[in-house]
């Protein structure tokens, strides 16, 4: 895969964030990712009056990944309502790790970091064999 266009991914994450359903927290989140076949997919958070049922943006991203043909995530960008970079929560780090592995890169304020750095000693499918 050639170099990652981080600006394009961030723009796509901002577009996704604008579609978020966040009437309770007023904290819309968007995420976009590059798939190993070249597709760019995205997701946004979808809140629920029963807060525990809220879906993080990364959850809708992974749903989009599966619904659009699967594959492996190569790079991802997560943003808040101002377009500033966000760190995925622990649950979402696990989701990203499952579908991108240790080599998936996440854009951080310090630059791209691998999931091996973001989720050290991550638990994945290989741990179940």
Known catalytic residues are: 58
Using CB atoms within 10 A of its CB, is residue 22 exposed (0-12), middle (13-18) or buried (19+)?
A: middle
Residue linked to tokens 């577009």: 15
Give the CA distances from residue 87 to residues 18, 35, 67, 77, 96, in Å, rounded to whole numbers and listed in that order: 18, 19, 24, 9, 12
3-state SS class at 44: strand
CA distance 123 to 98: 8
On the CB side of 67, how many CA atoms lie within 13 Å of its CA?
9
């Amino acid at each position: 895969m050639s170099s990652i266009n981080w600006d394009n991914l961030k723009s796509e994450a901002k577009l996704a964030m604008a579609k978020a359903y966040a009437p309770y927290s007023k904290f819309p989140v968007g995420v976009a990712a590059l798939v190993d076949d070249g597709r760019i997919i995205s997701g946004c958070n979808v809140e629920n009056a029963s807060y525990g049922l809220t879906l993080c943006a990364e959850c809708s991203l992974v749903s989009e990944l599966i619904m659009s043909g699967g594959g492996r995530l190569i790079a991802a960008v997560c943003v808040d309502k101002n377009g500033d970079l966000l760190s995925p929560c622990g649950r979402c780090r696990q989701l990203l790790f499952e579908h991108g592995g240790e080599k998936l890169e996440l854009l951080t304020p310090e630059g791209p970091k691998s999931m091996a750095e973001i989720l050290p000693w991550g638990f994945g499918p290989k741990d179940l064999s």
